[in-house]
Structure 1
Amino acid sequence: MSLPSALGHEHPIGMAHRGSGLLWPENTMVAFQGAVDLGYRYLETDLQITRDGILVTIHDDTVDRTTDGTGFVSDYSLEELRTLDAGYRFERDGDYRHRGQGVQVPTLEELATTYPDGVFTLDLKSDGMEAALVELIRRLDLWDRVIVGSFSGSRLRRFRSLVDRPVAISAGPAEILRFLTAARTNLPYRPRADSFQVPVKDRGITIVAPRTVRAAKRLGVPLIVWTINHPAEMEELLDLGVDGLITDRPDLLRTLLAERRGNTNRKEPHGG
């Protein structure tokens, strides 16, 4: 099968997870800019929706863990959400250096328009945002610049039902289970997703193994692994032949990929 444009770049693809929540305040423009400065084009982020229907890049359904506020994202208007300090909770080496620096919760539109060459892996974290996402994709012409996924199969089905053009979809849990069953039993299987984004293991079950890597390659569906932060594990998975890695340490992955390509000055970690 031919790959959607969003996944059609040279593999392995490096994706910056939430920009990088270990290096900068996660899912903020500070984090996304840090990843872009390292050469990343692929940015992974999470979506919630405000009370007034605006898609914002924040992982949790509450603001408590990552800002100086409390309460559900869906109870805030965008204007209210913008008053919170999204750098307040971030700590690195005992230093809260991003507090009081004007770091805000971004909108998805801000992210997409700031990086017109970016490709965005979007994790739909709550119900009720599917129509707003389709409207934004259509208005900004993001069809070839997003990969949409969710741990909720019902959200993915609602999203699919609303789109009127091809857009890259990452497999939900049920689709991944069907893939794993087919890989282990050699049963016929036709993928209904454009990528498999998976952990190495889930609840004691090994997902990423030579058999599943070979099966994904036979299907022509990229197998992208999350969330890999240690160089030794990065190296092991790349040697296994996975198509991409999602990481909180885009700095370490960039160095490793450059070394593997024999050019430590290479900027683009994904080759795209």
Structure 2
Amino acid sequence: MTLIFAHRGSAGTHPENTMESFIAAEKCGADGIELDVHLSKEGEIVVIHDETVDRTTNGKGFVQDFFLSDLKSLNASYKFKTFQSFIRVPRIPTLREVFDWMKGNQLQCNIELKNGKIMYPFLEEKVIDLIREYQYEERIIISSFNHYSLVHCYQLAPDIETAPLYSEGLYMPWIYARAIHAKGMHPNMKAAPDMIIRGAIEDGIAVRPYTVNKKEDMERLIAIECSAIITDYPEKAKKIKKQMMKT
């Protein structure tokens, strides 16, 4: 059965990587959320996609140059004007805040380490320590485009699932995934034809393509029982899945 992961939360309808977006994903029945992490100036794990705050907030500059208190002062509703007038302005959350909220649900969480351009010191250790603190080992998938980082995560915590992100076509990528001790793989949807998805699943490797937003792509992937899809529109995906299960 194909699981539905909400990409940066319900990013198609809510400000991405905010608690508002994650809560919306839970309410619509998503099976999991996907989020991105960087480190603040003092080393706090913060949830934001880009290396800078420019695109998703009303601030400017690199995440690593802001203290957490300064990041918390920014408005993270960037393009969603309807959220800018709310009593509670969407903010950049910490991973700890997300984990606290997860105590009240059973969602899985895909944490993408954003350390491809900036090598944050001890990012892997900090994330894994927090997972251990909350005992979320069975609920977490760690992914990254930095596959060296994923191998390091495996060395630190072989019991926590890792999954390489990639955007180009690979030959028999499930063999590569096994080579780096990953239990899953997260390809760009365009690099994941049905043949590749079926080959990986048959070999015991979970496949969760990103970012699946079109109805016809959702239907195709659900029909072949892809492990999961990562989408900006989890509510739409859940409705399509429900309709397909009836037929």
CA distance in structure 1 between the partners assigned to 2:46 and 2:194 by the alignment = 37
Is this contact kept in 1: 2:40–2:65, CA < 8 A?
Answer: yes
Partner of 1:38: 28
1:197 aligns with 186
Contact 2:185 2:206 in 1 (8 A): yes
Please identify, of 38-47 and 25-34, the stretch whose mean Cα deviation from structure 2 is larger. 38-47
Task: Determine the structure 1 residue equivalent to 2:65.
Answer: 75
Tell me how far 1:180 sits from its aligned partner. Answer: 3.4
User: C-alpha distance in 2, partners of 1:66/1:191?
Assistant: 33
Q: Does the CA-based 8 Å contact 2:39-2:46 persist in structure 1?
A: yes
Aligned pairs (5 A) from 1:20-35:
20-35=10-25
Aligned to 1:98: 83
Structure 1 position 37, deviation (Å): 0.6
Counterpart code for 1:171: P
The equivalent of 1:124 in structure 2 is: 113
Conserved? CA contact 2:185–2:207, under 8 Å:
yes
| 1:40 CA drift (Å) | 1.6
Partner secondary structure for residue 144 of structure 1: coil
Q: How does 1:47-86 map to 2 (within 5 A)?
A: 47-86=37-76
**Greater RCO, 1 or 2 (C-alpha within 8 Å, sep 6+):** 1
Computed over aligned residues only, the root mean square deviation of the Cα atoms, in angstroms, reads: 2.2
Aligned residue pairs total 236
Larger radius of gyration: 1
CA distance in 2, matches of 1:44, 1:197: 11
Structure 1 residue 148 corresponds to structure 2 residue 138: no
Distance 1:234 1:15 in 2: 12
Give the gaps of 5 or more residues in structure 1.
1-10, 184-188, 202-206, 264-272
Structure 1 residue ranges (4+ consecutive) displaced by more than 4 angstroms after TM superposition? none
Percent identity over paired residues: 28
- Provide the C-alpha distance between the structure 2 equivalents of 1:179 and 1:192, rounded to a whole number of angstroms: 15
SS in 2 for 1:260: helix
Q: TM-score normalised to the size of structure 1?
A: 0.80
Unaligned stretches of 5+ residues in structure 2: none
Matched residue SS, 1:106: coil
Match of 1:253 in 2: 237
Please state how far the C-alpha of 1:131 moved relative to its aligned partner. Answer: 1.5
Q: TM-score, normalised by structure 2?
A: 0.88
